[in-house]
Structure 1
Amino acid sequence: MTGAFPFPVMLFAAGFGTRMGALTRDRPKPMVEVAGRPLIDHAIDLCRAAGATRLVANVHYKPDAIIPHLLSRDIAVSHETPEILDTGGGLRHALPLLGDGPVVTLNTDAVWTGPNPLTALAQARRPGMGALLMTVPRARTHGRAGAGDFDMSPEGVLSRGGDLVFTGAQIIDPAVLGDYPKAVFSLSQVWTDLAARGALYGIEHPGHWADVGHPEGITAAEALLSDV
């Protein structure tokens, strides 16, 4: 990759945050603070540090508690109403704001150490990749319960199962969304279908990653950041 960051970024910020319990009674999960700042600001900082200029965030749950914050940071808003559209449907709904071509998607409930994952994805992405996922070995995750998500071949092709955890960052070709007629669908199903035809790829993040989807993850993330 040379020059400016070439992809728009979709920030997933619409979910109900049920695993956060009382912390999301009055705010959406991306506005829960980690190390004194809203989670979504950590994600926005990653994007800006990579050079991304076009950022879009989807909203649904308690939108009035996040929309002013997004607008103050020059983030376009894709409001999902009356129903939440899940990750696949949410991405497709936001495409008019994102523009044509491949899109970075980034979950907003994680923190990272090490090289910028969005820069690494942009450098590794090649034509023909339906989706390119940033993964991390289970041993370098924090606040993460359960097994890994994917295995990776020497050529970088992903298959389901294995030690690698999806970090919530990827580059995806929106053309692959055309096969799904329903308004509400998950990108997880898209990945399964791409993997079946050998079009799902991955790279491995060399740093650490914390899942901040639950209260214990906040403690893990703040400990991780304090060691940087």
Structure 2
Amino acid sequence: MTRLITVLLAASTDATRLHRVRPSDESLTAFAASIADRAINHDIHLARAPASGTPARSLRVIAMRVPLGHGRACWRRARRRLLSWEMHEGSTWSAVLVEDPPGRSLVTLAALPSPRLPLLWVSNPCRAVRRRVGRRRCSVGYSTLSGHLLEGEEKMDVVWSRETDEVAFEVVSHSRGAGPLGKLLFPALSSTQRRFFREQCRCMQRAAAGVQRVEPVWSSPRSAHPGHRLEAVAGVTR
């Protein structure tokens, strides 16, 4: 473990940063301002298949969906949370800080190697690139920037079903390692990514529905491009 921490600290750059203690909100805000001019580091787009030079099998696709409740009041609460980028509100070990509107820098924060053993904190450079508001569906999304150890996009939706009146939260992530170090570490980051997305689902479900238990979270086949292997993710409890 000591050797792994040494390697991770050495990997800390002027973009992806490793911290021995949780950085303050002021520090994260300053970090967000410092990455405003960085470029997106990939050609992955969730709205369409990757470019011909990007084999589909090279991407890790994670898709999750959880019910939030029913009715207009639930829809409004969930929509407000999503559009305010508060999908991690209430989490003790993860966060998203964004300078809205889309096109502005965004920072993700998570504890490593796990929430119960936060030996390090990692902050990553991203950019908000999506904001859609509809009568029954709204979504936001972000992309990784140069200097991030990963390349990819994440899209989050709140959907209000006309047929069942159910309100649900959906997450879709496409990613791969960036650069030699990112590609080396990428296989080991799978559980960290899943944990981060499950925390989004947990926080959104608690905020919108106020329940004690998060329902099982499963990947949706319709979220993937042909050739991608989706990963089913088990539910979690408080």
User: TM-score surpassing 0.5?
Assistant: no
Q: Structure 2 length normalisation: TM-score?
A: 0.27
Higher strand content, 1 or 2: 2
Whichever of the two has the greater Rg, that structure is: 2
Higher helix content, 1 or 2: 1
Q: Structure 1 length normalisation: TM-score?
A: 0.28
